[in-house]
Amino acid sequence: MNPGDRIRVETDSQTFEGILLPRSELEDEDHITIKLDNGYNIGISIREGHIEALGTEEHLQVFPEIELEKKEGLPEISMIATGGTIASRLDYRTGGVHMLMEPREIFFTTPELAELVFLKKVISPFRVGSESMTFKEYPILAELAARELNEGVSGVLITHGTDTLHYTSAILSFMLQNLHKPVCLVGAQRSPDRGSFDGAMNLICSSITAGYSNIGEVVTVMHGETSDTYCSVLRGTKVRKMHTTRRDAFQPINGKELARVWPSGTIEYLSDYRGRNDTEVTADTTLQEKVALLKAHPNCNPELLDFLVDNHYRGVLIEATALGHLPTDTVNPEYSWISAVQRAREEGVHIAFATQCLYGRVNPYVYTNARLMFNLGVLYMEDMLPEVAFLKLAWVLGHTENEEEVRQMMLHNYAGEITMRSPVERW
C-alpha cells in the first residue's frame, strides 16, 4: 500500500483508521504514521499491529485551482512564505502536508483574497518550521520585506508557523528601521484540512491590514476571538502566543490592540500607532549569535551562567522572578548568583533582566537584591517581554559592545517595546 491510502491498523489494545502518511526522514522503519479522521497524526509501531488497506479515497484527489488576474484599483502586496501550518496544504494524493510552492496556491485555501488585493509576489526564501528558526533566517526576512516595500507594495505579509511567530515579529520590529508600512505576520493554529482552519480569515484580515490600513509597523494579525469574528492587529513587540491551540492564542502583553480588522473590510483603530507613508525603509540586520536566554527558578544553579561566560557568550537575557530578582541569599551561598553575575560583568558579558511574570515591569529600586544586580550593571528591561528583550539584546550587541551604548540602546524605545505605563488590556 502507498501513502495516501486509507488503512486500518489493529493493535492488541486499539484500532486506528486513517490515511497513511509518507515516512519522514526522521522516523525509523518500524513505525508508520496515519492521519486520523479527527485531523491528528499518530505514529504506530508496525511490529505490534495488523494493517489492512481500505483503498484510496478518490474524491479527495481533486484540488481546485483558480486563475490570478490583476484587478485595477486593488492595492498590491507581497507575501513571504516561511513555512508553518498557514502555508501548508494537505496533499490528498499522498496524505502529506506540503509547503505552498507557487504564488497561486495560497488561493486554494483562501480564494477571497483575489477580490481584496493584488498579490504581486509570493517569495519562499527558505522552508524552516518556526520552532527551528535561527538568526540566519531573520536577516533574510528583513531584507526581503524592505526590498518589497521600497519597490512600492502597500504592505507585506509574512506567513509563519505560530510557535515562534511573535519572536519573528519582535526581531523584525528592530531590524526594519524607519518603517512606515504594514508588515503583517500571519499564521494558523489549525491546519487547512480541518473544519476549524483559521488561516483563511487570518489571511484575509492580514491582507486588509497590509493593503488598506494606516499602520506603519510590524504587527501580528491573528484571530481576536475563538470564533470567526475579527482579527486583532497587535504590535510586534507586545504580543505573545499564550495558548497552544486556541485560535485567539496571540494576546497583547503590556500593550493594547492596535486595531481590529473584520473580514468584511472594516478596520477599527483602538490605540496609537505609527502611521503609513512612503519613506524608504532600511534593513539593519546584524545580530550577535552568542546571546542566550536563562530562566531563574528555585534551586537554579549559577553554573549555567558560568558555562555561558566560559563559552564566550556576549549577552544573556535572564527571566528573573517578579520585579527582577535572582537568588542572592547568603543562607544558600552555593545557589547565590552574585559571584557568577559579577564575574560575567567583569568579563564584559552584558546581562539584562526581564520578568518571568510576563505582565508588568521590572524595577531595581524596590528590593536590595535587585539594587545589587543593578549596581553590577545588569540592565532592567522595563515592561519588555523576555523573548523581545532577548532578541533586542542580540540585535544591539550586533551593533556595539560599548557598555554605555549598549545600555542606551537597550533602554531606547525603538518599536513600542518599552512603554512608560503598561495598560493590561486582557486579563
CA dihedral 403, 409, 410, 416 (to 10 degrees): 170
Site string for its own copies, 93-122 (x = CB under 8 A): ------------------------------
Q: Does 63 bind its own copies (CB under 8 A)?
A: no
Query: Given candidates 229, 279, 301, 402, which one binds its own copies under the rule CB under 8 A?
Result: 301
Site string for its own copies, 20-39 (x = CB under 8 A): ----xxxxx--x-x------
Taking CB under 8 A as the binding criterion, the range among 50-58, 59-67, 132-140, 413-421 that sits at the site for its own copies is: 132-140
Task: State which residue, 150 or 363, has the beta carbon closest to its own copies.
Answer: 363
Q: Does 412 bind its own copies (CB under 8 A)?
A: no
Taking CB under 8 A as the binding criterion, the range among 47-55, 257-265, 360-368, 407-415 that sits at the site for its own copies is: 360-368
Kindly report each contact of residues 136-141 with a partner whose C-beta sits within 8 Å and lies 24 or more positions away, as own/partner: 137/82, 138/168, 138/171, 138/172, 138/175, 138/285, 138/287, 139/175, 139/283, 139/285, 139/286, 139/287, 141/80, 141/82, 141/168, 141/172
Contact 295, 319 (CB under 8 A): yes
Taking CB under 8 A as the binding criterion, the range among 19-27, 111-119, 216-224, 396-404 that sits at the site for its own copies is: 19-27
**Phi, psi (5° rounding) for residue 113?**
-55, -35
Task: Tell me the C-alpha distance between 13 and 242, whole Å.
Answer: 36
Give the active site residue among 238, 241, 256, 392.
241
Contact set for its own copies, span 151-190 (CB under 8 A) = 162-164, 167-168
Residue 409 host element (H or E): helix 403-411
Cβ burial of 83 (10 Å; 0-12, 13-18, 19+) is buried
Give the active site residue among 109, 162, 209, 355.
162
Task: State which residue, 76 or 257, has the beta carbon closest to its own copies.
Answer: 257
Give the active site residue among 85, 164, 209, 328.
85
* Residue 416 neighbours by CB under 8 Å, 6+ apart: 173, 217, 235, 237, 238, 255
**How many residues interact with its own copies (rule CB under 8 A)?**
93
Cell of 269: 483603530
Contact 204, 116 (CB under 8 A): yes
Whole-number minimum distance, CB 18 to its own copies, in Å? 12
The answer to whether 85 is a known catalytic residue is: yes
Whole-number minimum distance, CB 108 to its own copies, in Å? 21
Residue 408 host element (H or E): helix 403-411
**CB atoms near residue 115 (< 10 Å):** 9
The answer to whether 229 is a known catalytic residue is: no
For Cα atoms 234, 168, 101, give the angle at the middle one, nearest 5 degrees: 105
Contact 45, 16 (CB under 8 A): no
Cell of 189: 493554529
Rg (CA), the chain: 24
Task: State which residue, 52 or 303, has the beta carbon closest to its own copies.
Answer: 303
Contact set for its own copies, span 254-293 (CB under 8 A) = 289, 291-293
3-class secondary structure, 176: strand
Q: Does 42 bind its own copies (CB under 8 A)?
A: yes
Site string for its own copies, 315-344 (x = CB under 8 A): ----xxxxx-xxxxxxxx--xx-x------
Give the active site residue among 5, 163, 228, 306.
163
Query: Given candidates 174, 273, 390, 395, which one binds its own copies under the rule CB under 8 A?
Result: 390
Query: Given candidates 261, 349, 394, 396, which one binds its own copies under the rule CB under 8 A?
Result: 394
Contact set for its own copies, span 224-253 (CB under 8 A) = 241-246, 248-249, 251
Task: State which residue, 264 or 375, has the beta carbon closest to its own copies.
Answer: 375
Task: State which residue, 266 or 332, has the beta carbon closest to its own copies.
Answer: 332
For the chain, the maximum distance between any two Cα atoms, rounded to a whole number of angstroms, is 73
Taking CB under 8 A as the binding criterion, the range among 3-11, 143-151, 294-302, 396-404 that sits at the site for its own copies is: 294-302
Which residue numbers are catalytic?
85, 162-163, 241
